[in-house]
Amino acid sequence: MSEVVVKMEGISKSFAGIKALDHVQIELCKGEVHALMGENGAGKSTLMKIMTGVYTKDEGFMYLRDEINGEMRQIEIKSPLMAQKLGLSMVFQELNLLENMNIGENIFIGREPVGTATMIDKKVLNEKAKKELEKVKLDINPSTSVSSLSCGQKQCVEIAKALSFDARVVVFDEPTASLSETESRTLFEIIRELRNKGVCIVYISHRMEEVFELSDRITVFRNGTYIDTVETSKVSEADLIKMMIGRDLEEGKKKGSAYINKQKTVLSVRNVTIFPNSSPISFELHEKEILGFFGLVGAGRTELSRAIFGIDPIGEGEIYIQGSKVHINCPRDAMDVGIGLVPEDRKGLGLILGMSIKDNMLLSKLGQLKSRILNKKVLKEITGTYIDDLGIVLRDENQEVKELSGGNQQKVVIAKWLAMTPDILILDEPTRGIDVGAKSEIYTLMRKLTEAGKSIIMISSEMAEIQKVSDRVIVMHEGNITGELSIEEATKNSIMQAAFGGIKA
Ligand SMILES: Nc1ncnc2c1ncn2[C@@H]1O[C@H](COP(=O)(O)OP(=O)(O)OP(=O)(O)O)[C@@H](O)[C@H]1O
Ligand SMILES: [Mg+2]
């Protein structure tokens, strides 16, 4: 094993009296990809935020190898800036860019190049930013406003910013959650280049495939405690799951599409055009069906869901619910005809971070209740059920959502829509950032919903998820439908072929 760069031991941290970390440890080496794994709320982000100066620890010690004399030196990280100067950088799970500033300004915020008369030298800033963007292979003008970027592009800017510090350790917290397949590939290349240069990468992810592909070692946390550190090549996926959840994973109920009511079309989308130059698309969703939508970046799946839900206009197209034509001009209209949407961008569309967990969950429900007088007991039952079913880790339901771990925030978004019990539920990347245990809980819940008569559209970029959960798969490419596959036909090859534009439907 190569040289240790950072060592943390006996680290504890509590929030409002609740222990998020209980005497945990980690050792990070030069030139390794070190995966950090564990269920939602296990304390992964918290430990890394302590290392990078965002939070202060309550207990424990941190040591950093001195670059000059090579000795391990105890250190107290007092601020993010101090961490960055020492070469400890982090790409956060939730995007943190300032929307009203441009890309270059975001990358160099607080350390802008100064020209004459202490004015920021915009030209130099742009040139420097361009170089940083090249490193992450993002070909966009640095003076572009961040607000006009896609989720994936924003993530790339965050990464460029983290790398711009010449880091010795770079933490990626769920980086691929908002990246497309192609963007993820680029990120993996960047990570391998960094590792070859001797940088240590901490890679936090719930995606097993990525962890096995990329990492050299894996540290597992469970419930705020340290479980073990193992070499990736010496551990199986099943062992790892057991370390994370403390038991074997029960395989979710096998798919049985026999009960789908193919005679009954609940939603029919006709001639909706996604992009100005794409052909109009049409498809139908049957009662009790889970219809999977797969595609690469820019395939238009999110745009399609936004059109159906009334966020964006549908132009010439038509939407029929249970055979009758409906006019959906805004999300309220969509909700009125029984459509719910769990959006891809949970921070922007899904949650009000400053509001409590309970209020967030009941947000969409409240509009539905006939009486304005709320029956506290009924409401409590609703929130309680979903908190239990989804296993949301929280202190109490009146806590603000922003205090929850990333994966638990996502579960609140899902609970919010489940509480509304829409007939048609559109889930856009429903398990992004969600741990293996909870993923299978969500699949089981989706199954339960369809068995109870609901219908689901699931948009996912995870091949394994599409194959495991869908009853039928529609593949999109550049705004067109390029494949419609029964679950038997939906092999990895046929799906990918269609995703690259292969067959036109
Ligand atoms: N600012 C905060 N205020 C209160 N509680 C917090 C805060 N930050 C984290 N916690 C709590 O600490 C625990 C650990 O959270 P953390 O975000 O580290 O989990 P995680 O392992 O990163 O999970 P995920 O996989 O969902 O991102 C959780 O119970 C969380 O609710
Ligand atoms: Mg986290």
Cβ-Cβ contacts under 8 Å for 345 (sequence gap 6 or more): 151, 178
Mean pLDDT by 10 residues, the chain (505 residues): 91 92 97 95 95 96 94 95 92 80 88 69 87 88 88 84 89 82 84 93 91 96 95 93 80 58 91 89 95 88 90 87 92 89 71 80 65 63 77 82 82 80 90 82 86 93 90 93 92 88 58
* Residue 407, helix vs strand vs coil: helix
Q: Which ligand 1 atom sits closest to the C-alpha of 47?
A: 18
Report which secondary-structure segment, H or E, holds 455: strand 455-459
Distance 408 CA to ligand 1 centre (A): 8
Residue owning tokens 């990358």: 107
User: For the chain, which domains are there?
Assistant: 4-245 (3.40.50.300), 264-338+423-434+450-505 (3.40.50.300), 346-421 (no CATH)
Atom 24 (ligand 1): residue with closest C-alpha? 40
Distance 11 CA to ligand 1 centre (A): 15
Choosing from 15, 56, 172 the residue with most ligand 1 atoms within 8 A of its CB, the one to mutate for a pocket test is: 15
- CA-nearest of 56, 37, 60, 77 to 169 is 77
Query: Residue 107: what residue type?
Result: I
* Residue 329, helix vs strand vs coil: coil
* pTM beyond cutoff 0.75: no
What residue ranges line ligand 1, CB within 6 angstroms? 15, 20, 38, 40-46, 93, 393, 403-408, 435
pLDDT of residue 258: 61
Give me the residues paired with residue 34 across strands: 202, 217
Q: How far apart are CA 406 and CA 174, in angstroms?
A: 9
Strands 480-486 and 472-477: antiparallel
Cβ-Cβ contacts under 8 Å for 399 (sequence gap 6 or more): 356, 357
Q: How far apart are CA 230 and CA 309, in angstroms?
A: 46
Ligand nearest to the CA of 406: 1
Choosing from 176, 206, 405 the residue with most ligand 1 atoms within 8 A of its CB, the one to mutate for a pocket test is: 405
Atom 22 (ligand 1): residue with closest C-alpha? 45
Distance 270 CA to ligand 2 centre (A): 40
Distance 500 CA to ligand 1 centre (A): 38
Distance 405 CA to ligand 2 centre (A): 5
Ligand nearest to the CA of 206: 1
**Which two three-digit tokens encode residue 29?**
């080496």
Q: How far apart are CA 290 and CA 460, in angstroms?
A: 12
Atom 3 (ligand 1): residue with closest C-alpha? 403
Q: Which ligand 1 atom sits closest to the C-alpha of 16?
A: 4
**Which two three-digit tokens encode residue 38?**
């564990």
pLDDT of residue 6: 98
Q: Which ligand 1 atom sits closest to the C-alpha of 206?
A: 25
Atom 27 (ligand 1): residue with closest C-alpha? 406
Ligand nearest to the CA of 11: 1
Q: Which ligand 1 atom sits closest to the C-alpha of 39?
A: 25
Q: How far apart are CA 249 and CA 436, in angstroms?
A: 8
Q: How far apart are CA 180 and CA 178, in angstroms?
A: 7
